[in-house]
Copies of this chain bind each other. A is one copy, B any other.
Amino acid sequence: MKFIHTADWHLGKLVHGLYMTEDQRYFLNKFVELVEEEQPDAVVIAGDLYDRSVPPTDAVELLNEILFKINVELKTPIVAIGGNHDSAERLSFGSSWYKQSQFFLTGKLEMDIQPIHIHGVNFYLVPYAEPGMVRHLLNDESIHSHQDAMKAVIGKIEQHLNPNEPNVFVGHAFVLGGQTSDSERTLSVGGSGCVGSELFEPFSYTALGHLHSPDAIKHPTVRYSGSLLKYSFSEAKQEKSISIIEMKDNGQFDLRIRSITPKNDLRELEGHLDELMDPSIYEKQNVNDYLKIILHDEGALIDPINKLRQIYPNVLHLERKIAMTDMKKKQSFSSVKEDKKSELELFKQFYEEMTTSEFTDEKNIVMAEVIEKTLKEEAGR
């Protein structure tokens, strides 16, 4: 039995003020082609279909269109759950009808989790739920953390789980890598909302969503598929992928990775302004990528962001490397003192680096007053 594991589509996502919907549409159309090629027995989407509880209408239309192509046109069963970004109730609307064509969507956690059987594999669908919700549903006052909640939910599932069949858990949670004992858990997890991966031991494979990197944890059977696209610069160096799982009757599986090239990448670009504006440099690149640009220039630059945007229209963030290293140097008070600069001089330098505009006499006067007043107040304490 072959299924595709994906998650965290985040349709309707804004990245640095820019809607990703057209990039998502491009990518998902490629994804549909991949489904057509692979002909899996199911597509699993482990939560966060949307980026927010009330997504923009074009995100609603896009999800409708893509799921319809996969489920109805390609006749592929879909197994999907709500994530923390989805509205459980809104996502659930219509799910009773979707079942007619083997589109199994569980937006909201239910008490009695019945597996979905597809080609000999049992899928257990556990959408994201706050501990308080699980405490209420199971009427168990001892549930306070995500760990407690997940343990209780899996405990309920285990009551009727047949361990001799291949069982797949589909969930949306923050899983701590590796085996943890209760005491370790208390120490390292605290109230952070993590659950231990040992909880998923009863399952042949655990298809997770929530963390955006496919390498978020190293575990033989518990896996994040990773998000559809890179949605922040902290993900710039991640390799996003589509996971294809071939599951045998004994629950063992082979994992294969496929990747889709997005319309525009999201990446960092470093250099001096002159270099980045040089055709021999930018002609080799997809200038439409979403960029965080780090400039190496020292001293003032006139309107660098607009110059850069003439070449790279999707610059989302610009920073100066000199400011970054300076800031690191000055993180401790002692290193600031070593500079032997006055507060006003330090502020002036900081201002010019951050804004790349002149620190005029007028600004100087205002700031000098502020600093004087603050120092007086401090002295008076």
Taking CB atoms, residues of chain B closer than 8 Å to A57 are 87, 89-90
Of the candidates B54, B60, B92, B94, the one whose C-beta lies within 8 Å of that of A97 is B94
Q: Is A64 an interface residue (CB 8 A)?
A: yes
Q: Which of A57, A71, A87, A94 has the most CB of B within 10 A?
A: A94
The quantity of this chain's copies bound in the complex is 2
Q: Which chain B residue shows the least CB distance to A100?
A: B100
Q: Is the CB of B103 within 8 A of A97?
A: yes
- Is A98 in the interface zone, CB < 8 Å from B? yes
Q: Once the chains bind, are B100 and A63 in contact (CB under 8 Å)?
A: no
Contacts A57-B89, A60-B89, A89-B57: A94 and B96 contacting too (C-beta < 8 A)? no
- Chain A at the B interface: SS class: helix
**Which of B58, B92, B96 is A72 in contact with, Cβ under 8 Å?**
B96
A 337-374 to B, binary, CB cutoff 8 A, 1 in contact else 0:
00000000000000000000000000000000000000
Q: Does A232 contact B (CB under 8 A)?
A: no
Question: What number of A residues sit within 8 Å (CB to CB) of B?
Answer: 22
Looking at the assembled complex, report how far the CB atom of A19 sits from the nearest CB atom of chain B, in whole angstroms. 15
> CB-CB < 8 A to A64: which residues of B?
92-94, 96
Whether A377 sits at the interface, judged by CB under 8 Å, is no
Cross-chain contact of A96 among B54, B60, B68 (Cβ < 8 A): B68
Contact flags (1/0) for A242-254 with B, using CB distance below 8 Å?
A: 0000000000000
Known: A54-B54, A57-B89, A60-B90. 17 other contacts (CB 8 A): A58-B89, A61-B89, A61-B92, A61-B93, A64-B93, A64-B96, A71-B97, A72-B96, A72-B97, A94-B94, A94-B98, A97-B97, A97-B98, A97-B100, A97-B103, A100-B100, A100-B101
Residues on A close to B: CB < 8 A?
54, 57-58, 60-61, 63-64, 68, 71-72, 87, 89-90, 92-94, 96-98, 100-101, 103
